[in-house]
Amino acid sequence: MQIWRVNVRNQTLTREPVPAGWEKLGGRGLLARIMLDEVPPTCEPLGPLNKLIFAPGLLVGHMLSSTDRISIGGKSPLTGGIKEANAGGRTGLHMATMGIKALILEGLPADPGLWVLHLSLEGGRWEKAEGLAGLGVYEASKRLVERYGEKTAIALIGPGGEAKLASAGIQNLDKDKVPSRIAARGGLGAVMASKGLKAIVFDNAGGQKPPIHNPEAFKKAQKEFTAALMNHPQTALYRDYGTQAMPQMTQGFGALPTRNFSAGTFEQVESISGEFMRDLLLARGGESETSHACMAGCTIRCSNVFGGEDGKTIVSPLEYETVGLMGSNLGIGDLDTIGRMNWQVNDLGLDSIEIGAALGVAAEAGLMDFGDGARALELLDEIRQNTPLGRILGMGATTVGKVYAIERVPAVKGQAMSAYEPRAIKGTGVTYATTPQGADHTCGLTIRAKVNHLDPQGQAAISLTAQLNMAGYDTLGACIFAGFGYATAPAAIPELLAARYGWEDVPADMLQVLGRETIKMEREWNKQAGFTKAHDRLPEYMTREALPPNNAVFDVDEEQLDTIYDNL
Amino acid sequence: MQIWRVNVRNQTLTREPVPAGWEKLGGRGLLARIMLDEVPPTCEPLGPLNKLIFAPGLLVGHMLSSTDRISIGGKSPLTGGIKEANAGGRTGLHMATMGIKALILEGLPADPGLWVLHLSLEGGRWEKAEGLAGLGVYEASKRLVERYGEKTAIALIGPGGEAKLASAGIQNLDKDKVPSRIAARGGLGAVMASKGLKAIVFDNAGGQKPPIHNPEAFKKAQKEFTAALMNHPQTALYRDYGTQAMPQMTQGFGALPTRNFSAGTFEQVESISGEFMRDLLLARGGESETSHACMAGCTIRCSNVFGGEDGKTIVSPLEYETVGLMGSNLGIGDLDTIGRMNWQVNDLGLDSIEIGAALGVAAEAGLMDFGDGARALELLDEIRQNTPLGRILGMGATTVGKVYAIERVPAVKGQAMSAYEPRAIKGTGVTYATTPQGADHTCGLTIRAKVNHLDPQGQAAISLTAQLNMAGYDTLGACIFAGFGYATAPAAIPELLAARYGWEDVPADMLQVLGRETIKMEREWNKQAGFTKAHDRLPEYMTREALPPNNAVFDVDEEQLDTIYDNL
């Protein structure tokens, strides 16, 4: 494996051996290490000192079920802190087969203009992004696939990224060449634009699977893991409903974000639920699919293709986070409308969580009525037209709140919350408050813990467990749902790592060891960037305003928040 | 003296004795003490936990020349840190004669709507701001004077404050009942709006000058001070040119902000200079005045009334900071245009420094051409119309930079720099970087220090001296120009305080003692609010991009910035 280092000013690629301190890391953990080693924490996110880094997880490259994820990172223009966003699709797998442990993009372009960076075993090639600049992600992907071939992996940005919006992500083609896998959070699409890149093409021709030190042992561990995953009850649930199993569950907890996080239940929850959606898609047929894989080899197939009445795809996939933030959070109970909004933000290359939250704050500011899907689509068109209002919205919920002097902004460290109300799921509230990434359920969702989620006691411990696990999975390259398997067969992780790399004495709790190391590094980087415990807080109004129907406030004491990482 | 505490939710006023720890403070120092004692540093600036505080300086109430200033403070919606903004006019004098050591406004109104708070020795009276809401500051002031009488002091906000813009200040009527004295910086006008107040009327009928413990000693010290001030060469200069003596001086240092701080000299400096302006006003006559006092008893009379060709007032006064930020900084070399822009921001109740800087960043973003005064006036009209673009601009330079992804934002801690380029006057750069207030020349301008301003060595020491003096003057209630007198007759300060209050053993360096205590408290409050040394930095581009004509970068080492307050 090598480090591929790209200087966008000179348009050069250098391939370097992996430094000793980086070898035993991958994905999110490796990003944190590189950030600490190379990126000054106080730098400007869109300036010359920030870097954009791609790193597959430690176990990527072997089509282990749901374990081929790509981590993308840098300093976030949204939060001002360290950022890792990961995605499925095939970018991770291709990088691994090309022997790239990390791709580091540095500097700023000498001249304006957008480029496509083509990477292959022969090196890097820069080509003007002619006919691509300003194009939506769907059309741009199609042209890129035509130009560079069906076998490439492609990561690209949309018009929102080109406009350097802080809600812009980086899209990755899935195994069907659809740009459906977005490293969404934290504005990394804007960082990619600042580096002058519309797309990066990974052409793995001539590449091969990463070497395995002990193939027999690897196969054995893989079997254990796969069996555990296949037999886990959640796997079947996710195959039927995907993430859309959640609306009814969060509604049950009074934790479904509704009308800018002002209530925890939504009167139209039925019509946005996974059960309703599955029946709808089965009835509609055509291009609709209720169970679809984003990565080759995935046995869960949690994804879907959301087709309309005419059987044609409206959007692929439609996930719970989008339904929560663009549906109930906006008072919109119609999946077709939500699907159309989702397509728009995808095509713009934006994070649907951040934009859903931004629209919720905009509704609070009087820019739309809750429930008015047509107006919501108009507001998304403001983003596409790059109007002043569109730019405000595209900068995310915190900027909308700032510009319209709205206090009720469901965000931490400048990043919008996911579709779990922290007053009703308090452990997840602790995660939102304390994770170095800004509010994000993928950093440690606690909804499955068997506790009273309304009780403020002990939530930090529950959050910490989830945070360590998730930081570990993000370092391995494992999907959150692969965790169902790894958690049931925990020995598989050290066995897989030992077999893959020939490492000796891999500890039984390697997942947590990696998670701990990762969060420590991220915290250190953020500290140098100027973050303190004052930033590890939920918005003040959530500690004061009771959330129906449980009339819950966020009352986890600050002591828990301040000491959560004390024994890392 | 008493503390007057107003609860805006219940619309009640309580008058309390002054707590022991507050007695020996006034103005900026007292604000810092009250903030530490009563306002949680992490609170929402426009939420119920923030307070808006008015406090005259320790020596206010005796018409000591240029020593009747009012300090207004709270948590800043612009910086997120502690904020003090002070102004001349008669608010300070009236409060002192009413025996009010500090006025503390707390809570949020129970209902929407705007009110006038009338304060007199009989207590507080709330009146609906009928016919005033939405009115510009000039017309609103006129109606308030008609309604409440010519002898009152009035502090009020404009439409920008009502819109809760983070660049909104609080205007104070001067001795001629013109709302020309704005506590401009840091968005305190938005805080006042959040408290539901359009105006506060101070009716001092029945009041009297604050008691003087030893009138003879006071008179003697006053004489020393006044003589020193009158004999100081700068006093005559300021009488002739006011702050407008500066354009030629900063130009000489290569420190005149030009075209969004991209150059330090302006080719049209002649036509915006004080010399040109003075000749112009003398020739135009009519309402024009080249030397005008804002506070009763001021012997400097640094202010002006800027009249047009027809002799009618365009704006009063036109100050250097406005000329620097709205003139050279925008490439505009025409004083009439700058004067008209100044009138607009005054009428909107906004900080002309922040808005000038915001327009500079907007020009960088392509929203106007440098030099296009007509377009600049159009952009100010966007603010008046409260459009999305207007709101972006009204939130200040940092928000414009954020929304338009512009790196070149001349601001620190979210607050725009004044009209002194920190790369060319490096000590002032240290002040901008390190003062708890955010970039602000009034916290420690170093341009008069007899040093090489381009040399990075030793600038922290120069800045610190200036910062301590200024924090001391702001605690006394002394104008920056009164400092010419106090610096020449330094014994006057302890003598005046001892005579006024009967304090024993007032140290000879009382000015610095007060300054030190004030900055210590402000730093402590900001620390709890989440500020670290990472926030004590100039924008990254200023450390990298050379400023013509001196080709200077800001190269004061971070060690100086990090240790400047070590021995406070």
The pLDDT tens digits of the residues spanning B350-378 come to 999 999 999 999 999 999 999 999 999 99
Distance between A512 CA and the closest CA of chain B, angstroms: 29
The confidence band for B141, taking pLDDT boundaries of 50, 70 and 90, is: very high
Closest residue of chain B to A532, computed from CA coordinates? B530
**Model confidence at B503: pLDDT above 90:** yes
Which residue stretches of A15-150 are H helix?
27-38, 91-97, 137-148
Q: Which of B403, B540, B544 sits opposite A395 (nearest CB)?
A: B403
* pLDDT tens, residue by residue, A81-100: 999 999 999 999 999 999 99
For residue B294, what pLDDT is reported? 87
Question: Which pLDDT band, with edges at 50, 70 and 90, does A237 fall under?
Answer: confident
Task: Give the pLDDT score at B299.
Answer: 87
Walk across the sheet containing A153-156 and list its strands: A123-128, A115-120, A197-203, A153-156, A170-172, A181-183
A 10 A CB-CB count for A445 gives: 20
CA A443/CA B122 separation, integer angstroms = 58
Q: Do B407 and A164 touch (CB under 8 A)?
A: no
Q: What is the pLDDT of residues B204-255, one digit of tens each?
A: 999 999 999 999 999 999 999 999 999 998 888 888 999 999 999 999 999 9
Arithmetic mean of pLDDT, A211-216: 98
Per-residue pLDDT, B371: 98
Q: Do B534 and A530 lie within an 8 Å CB cutoff?
A: yes
Chain B residues touching residue A48 (CB < 8 angstroms): 544
The SS3 call for residue B106 is strand
Q: pTM for this structure?
A: 0.98
Give the pLDDT confidence score for residue A296 in this predicted structure.
85
Q: Identity (one letter) of the amino acid at B555?
A: D
Question: Of the candidates A323, A333, A182, which has an alpha carbon nearest to the alpha carbon of residue A249?
Answer: A323
CA separation for the pair B341, A191 (Å, rounded): 36
Is A49 within 8 Å of B540 when comparing Cβ atoms? yes
- Out of B1-10, B104-113, B231-240, B541-550, least confident range: B231-240
Q: What's the confidence (pLDDT) of residue B236?
A: 86
Is the ipTM of this structure higher than 0.95?
A: yes
Among candidates B42, B163, B392 on the partner chain, residue whose Cβ is nearest the Cβ of A392: B392
The answer to whether residue A297 scores a pLDDT higher than 90 is no
Mean pLDDT of B511-515: 98
CATH superfamily, domain A2-203, is Aldehyde ferredoxin oxidoreductase, N-terminal domain (3.60.9.10)
CA distance to partner chain A, nearest, from residue B43 (Å):
7
Tokens linked to A219: 């196969």
- H/E run at residue A153: strand A153-156
B41 contacts in chain A (CB < 8 Å)? 534
What pLDDT does residue A295 have?
A: 83
pLDDT at B295: 83
Residue A328 DSSP class? G
Q: A299: pLDDT confidence band, cut at 50, 70 and 90?
A: confident
Nearest to B399 among A166, A402, A407 (CB): A402
Per-residue pLDDT at A385 exceeds 90: yes
Q: What are phi and psi of A118, to 5 degrees?
A: -105, 120
| Shortest Cα–Cα distance, A409 to chain B (Å) | 11
**The pLDDT of residue A40 is above 90:** yes
On whether the CB atoms of residues B434 and B463 are closer than 8 A, the answer is yes
Residues B97 and B120: their CA atoms lie apart, in Å, by 11
Give the pLDDT score at B22: 98
Instruction: Evaluate if residue B297 carries a pLDDT over 90.
Output: no
CA dihedral A260, A261, A267, A272 (to 10 degrees): 80
pLDDT of B281 reads 96
Which positions in chain B have a beta carbon within 8 angstroms of at least one beta carbon in chain A? 41-44, 46-49, 77, 163-166, 190, 387-389, 391-392, 395, 399, 402-405, 407, 528-535, 537, 539-541, 544
Nearest CA in chain A to B187: A405
pLDDT at B237: 87
Share of chain A above pLDDT 70, in %: 100
Q: Residue A131: count other Cβ atoms within 10 Å of its Cβ.
A: 11
Count of positions (residues) in chain A: 568
Which of B166, B407, B537 shows the shortest C-beta gap to A46? B407
Task: For residue A42, give the nearest of B44, B530, B537 by CB distance.
Answer: B537
Q: Which among B321, B401, B403 has a CA at the least distance from the CA of B364?
A: B401
CB-CB under 8 Å, A403 with B399: yes
Q: What is the DSSP string of A365-389?
A: TTSS-TT-HHHHHHHHHHHHHT-HH
Among the partner-chain residues A391, A530, A540, the one whose CB lies closest to the CB of B532 is A530
Asked if B526 and B81 count as a contact pair (C-beta separation under 8 A), the reply is yes
Task: Residue B59: name the closest of B355, B416, B477 by CA.
Answer: B477
Q: Which pLDDT tens digit goes with each residue over B409-454? A: 999 999 999 999 999 999 999 999 999 999 999 999 999 999 999 9
As a whole number, mean pLDDT of residues A23-32 equals: 98
> How many inter-chain contacts (A to B, CB under 8 Å) are there?
92
Does domain B2-202 fall into CATH 3.30.160.620?
no
Residue A178: pLDDT band (50, 70, 90) is very high
- With CA atoms as reference, report the closest residue to A177 among A205, A203, A143, A153: A153
Note the pLDDT tens digit of each residue in A238-252.
Answer: 889 999 999 999 999
Q: Which of the four pLDDT bands, split at 50, 70 and 90, describes residue A473?
A: very high
Instruction: Show Cβ contacts of residue B46 under 8 Å, excluding neighbours closer than 6 positions.
Output: A405, A407, B77, B164, B190, B191, B194
- Helices A335-348, A274-284: axis angle to 10 degrees equals 90
Q: Where are the domains of chain B?
A: 2-202
Instruction: Tell me what pLDDT residue B339 has.
Output: 98
